[in-house]
Amino acid sequence: MSSADLPVANGSELVILLCTFPSGNEWGEVANTLLHERLCACVNQVREVSSIYHWQGEIVSNREVVCMIKTSAVRYPELVQRLTDLHPYDVPEIVRLSVESVNQAYLDWVVSECDPSSPESSRTDGEGQLDEV
């Protein structure tokens, strides 16, 4: 089956959130909490980056990690509140990306994983185990 044959869905139910964290493992601790609370289905640490920005009247440079957090539109407001509470920065970067379309199977998985009443994991690819990051 080619990718053109895969069923696609309107992406408005899927939310991808970008968030930076200090370099280190704080992102993993936050990710585990968000996953255990079923506020998201997946957190990817994309890579470490060099950041330079204005902060409190100075130009600051440091290393950060960029994370992509996948959640359902329904859980997004709770995710933002909890991420704000857990994040080590006073002003965390929380950027919502618009999704035009998504393959139906992935959307179904995200929505299921973000449903607090769902069983522990609906993944069947062997990746359903939550490991400490």
User: With bands split at pLDDT 50, 70 and 90, how would you rate the model's confidence at 1?
Assistant: low
Alpha-carbon gap, residue 17 to 130, rounded angstroms: 20
pLDDT (0 to 100) of residue 47: 86
Per-residue pLDDT tens over the stretch 7-18: 788 878 999 999
| Tokens found for residue 55 | 């902060």
User: Which DSSP state fits 123?
Assistant: -
Question: pTM for this one?
Answer: 0.83
Asked if pLDDT for residue 21 goes beyond 80, the answer is: yes
The beta strands (E) that lie in the chain are given as 8-10, 14-22, 42-55, 58-72, 95-97, 101-103
pLDDT (0 to 100) of residue 10: 82
User: Which DSSP state fits 115?
Assistant: -
User: With bands split at pLDDT 50, 70 and 90, how would you rate the model's confidence at 118?
Assistant: confident
Q: Does residue 49 or residue 119 have the better pLDDT?
A: 49
**φ, ψ for residue 3, nearest 5 deg:** -60, -25
Asked if pLDDT for residue 68 goes beyond 80, the answer is: yes
